[in-house]
Amino acid sequence: MANDPPRRRRRRALPVVGWLPSYRREWLRGDLAAGIAVTALVVPKNLGYADIAGVPVQNGLYAAAAGGIIYALFCTSRHISTGPSSSLAAVAGGAVAVTGVAGEQAAGLVAAIALATGLLFLLLALLRMGWIASFLSKAVVTGFLAGAAMDVVIGELPKLTGTSADGDNAWRELGSWVGSLGDTHGTTLLVGVTALAVILGLRRVAPAIPGALVLVAGGLLASSLFDLGAHGVALVGDVPRGLPIPEMPDLNLVRDHYATVAIAAVALLLIGFSQTAGDARAFAARHRYRIDVDQESVAQGMANVGAGLFQGMPVSTSLSASSLNESAGARTQMASLVTGGLVLATLLVLAPLFSDLPKAVLGAVIIDAVVFGMIDVAELRRFYRVTRFDFWIATAAIVGVLSVGVLAGVVVGVALSLGWLVYVATRPPMPLLGRQAGTQVFRDLDENPTDETFPGIAVLRMDGGLFFATAEALEERVRELAEEDDDRRALVLDLEGVNFIDSQGAAKVTELHELTEADGVTLRLARAKPRVLAVLAADGIIDRIGADHVHGNVHRAVEAQLASAAAVTDAEFND
């Protein structure tokens, strides 16, 4: 029976069937501790994430419960904790802002986005299309998340001052808020500043303490003791006790805003998949077990589908919760089941308590979460130090999000990524080479300017595929060399870096041969790979150039040219 193929298929499709029957009692203590610790972390934060997304605060808890429990049933990772996150909430909130819906319609729209995201995850796993995450470069993702965090912070500032602000982008909203400061509500400002001081102070002085939990508990206590609502401090408002009933989002709402739902779902897929795959692999490597990336996509897909059906919001890997899960002693996904169960208990028993939470306190929780969860200052500094262009790409993504909004910022980010990809693909490096003294090694002259060169001979290396997108760039480079040196008599084209060549690339080599021949320049090829040589031979180029002009390395090509030039000189002298 153990080798029954249907049973193996069930275990692959629903991994909990494999690990739960063999669960060991000694694991329970660690899993319980981790589940409780993660609950203390995520409950207050998920209230804030729901607020970022523009939906009732309890919807964040709906998503945390549904996402955590369903993910645990389908996943292969033992440590990943799944639920709402600041970045996903920012994208969902951007969709709500673009459509202008509110209340139940906003909740329905965000649930539809979660459902669509889940279906895309499942499609990704079915078609094994994980490569799609490559359409967002690390620089663009870093800039996008930083810009989204700034956008969220600007949106939360009015909560700290008891004022209002509006505007069709972050810049105008910030200007509107600054203009409203004359109407600041003193008590609200005191609560907001105190809340920020507490949560930031705990992060600095005692980072092991869940600052969000302390702040929410303290905010509720202060609201009760000082009757903050009666003093004009805005409160969260009614948070109903109970569990959601599964239901499909309103199809009319989805039809009216299908483009927004689709863009948001694709954005969440691109962000969520890269987080899920990378984090799951990292934990698995640390604890020496294997994960199935496709099954992780299935698990995230099912978690999002469940979150959408239970009126929640999009979910994905939470690195902070997963790290806490690991450090608290989690051994299996039983920890996530415990977390999900405790969140359900919170909804059943404690939910109404959150009604008296000051919005200024919730704003402080949100600001702390997005600033420290989405703005990677260290990575931006690394970009500036290592690859300045990546830094400016990230900066452009930040400005794009702040200028056009989070949702449109996703489109800007993809456009930047694709634009950078096209630029890199169509402009491969093509350095001139020189010979290291006393060797047969040819290397980049820009990096080694004292290397030996040969009068009348240029050695050019192409570092990239020779195909339709790069063929013109190669011709431009060869023409530049011709203009720089009228006395050049030979061009050695080093093809070591060319792993791929298509028919257009092969035709370009023929054109270069005709171009150099017309100028009285000899073309020689060196270090071409067998696959590249096969394409050139099939196109008849080797016959045109001559097999004696194709060499195994650059040194032989240069020596052959020097010998040929010497023979011509001797012949002219004898004449």
DSSP 420-446: HHHHHHHS----BEEEPTTSS-EEETT
- The secondary structure of 314-329 as a DSSP string is --EE-HHHHHHHHHTT
Cβ count within 10 A of residue 9 = 10
Q: What integer pLDDT is reported at residue 167 of this predicted model?
A: 87
What is the average pLDDT across 529-554? 93
69 vs 462: CA distance, rounded Å: 53
- What lies within 8 Å, CB to CB, of 428 at 6+ separation is 462, 463, 464, 465, 470, 473, 497
Average pLDDT over residues 143-169: 92
d(CA 482, CA 489): 10
Going by pLDDT thresholds of 50, 70 and 90, the confidence category of residue 1 is very low
pLDDT score of 4 more than 60? no
- Sign of the Cα torsion 403, 407, 410, 411 reads negative
In sequence order, which residues have a C-beta less than 8 Å from that of residue 334 and are 6 or more positions away? 23, 27, 28, 31, 35, 72
The residue to which tokens 């997005």 are assigned: 370
Percent of the chain with pLDDT over 90: 69
pLDDT of 571 strictly over 60: no
Which position has the higher pLDDT, 14 or 198? 198
DSSP string computed for 489-533: -EEEEE-TT---B-HHHHHHHHHHHHHHHHTT-EEEEES--HHHH
| The pLDDT value given to residue 377 | 94
Residue 339 has pLDDT above 80, yes or no: yes
Selection from 455, 413, 425, 480 nearest residue 562 by Cα: 455
Q: Of residues 201 and 567, which shows the higher confidence score?
A: 201
Question: Is a pLDDT exceeding 70 seen at residue 8?
Answer: no
How do residues 493-515 score in pLDDT, each as one tens digit?
A: 999 999 999 999 999 999 999 99
pLDDT value at position 565?
A: 79
Token pair of 165, please? 């602000």
- The pLDDT confidence band at residue 130, using thresholds 50, 70 and 90, is low
- Residue written as tokens 């609502």? 229
Alpha-carbon 511 to chain mean position: 42
Mean pLDDT of 344-364: 94
Of 268, 270, 269, 265, give the one whose Cα is nearest residue 135.
270
One-letter amino acid for residue 448 of the chain: N
What pLDDT, in 10s, does the model give residues 23-79? 999 999 999 999 999 999 899 999 999 999 999 999 999 999 999 999 999 999 999
- 531 pLDDT band (50/70/90 cuts)? very high
Neighbours of 563 (CB within 10 A): 10
Q: CB burial class (10 A; 0-12, 13-18, 19+) of residue 518? A: exposed
The pLDDT, as a whole number, for residue 208 is 84
* pLDDT, tens only, 272-300: 877 777 788 888 888 888 888 888 899 99
Instruction: Give the pLDDT score at 525.
Output: 96
Share of the chain above pLDDT 70, in %: 95
Once rounded to an integer, what is the mean pLDDT over residues 455-473? 92
Rounded to 10 degrees, what is the CA torsion of 148, 152, 155, 156? -160
Q: Do the Cβ atoms of 80 and 272 come closer than 8 Å? A: no
Region of poorest pLDDT, from 182-186, 325-329, 343-347:
325-329
Residues with Cβ within 8 Å of residue 49, at least 6 apart in sequence: 60, 84, 85, 86, 88, 89, 313, 366, 369
Mean pLDDT of 334-351: 95
Mean pLDDT of 150-172: 92
Please provide the average confidence, as pLDDT, over all residues in the chain: 90
What are φ and ψ of residue 432, in 5° steps?
-80, 145
Q: Report CA 99 to chain centroid distance, whole Å.
A: 25
Asked if 490 and 517 touch (Cβ cutoff 8 Å), the reply is no
**pLDDT at 5 > cutoff 70:** no
CA–CA dist 76, 388 (Å, integer): 39
> Is the confidence at residue 410, as pLDDT, over 90?
no
3-state secondary structure of 81: coil
What is the structure's pLDDT at 317?
A: 87
Q: Is the distance from CB of 245 to CB of 65 less than 8 angstroms?
A: no
Give the residue-averaged pLDDT of 466-471.
Answer: 91
| Amino acid 139: pLDDT | 86
| pLDDT the model gives residue 574 | 57
One-character DSSP codes across 268-330: HHHHHHHHHHHHHHHHHHHHT----HHHHHHHHHHHHHHHHHTT----EE-HHHHHHHHHTT-
Q: Is residue 423 pLDDT above 70, yes or no?
A: yes
Q: Which stretches of 317-405 are DSSP H helices?
A: 319-327, 334-349, 359-374, 377-386, 388-404
C-beta separation of 258 from 38 below 8 A: no
- pLDDT average, residue stretch 170-185: 94
Model confidence pLDDT, tens digit, residues 426-454: 889 999 999 998 899 999 999 999 999 99
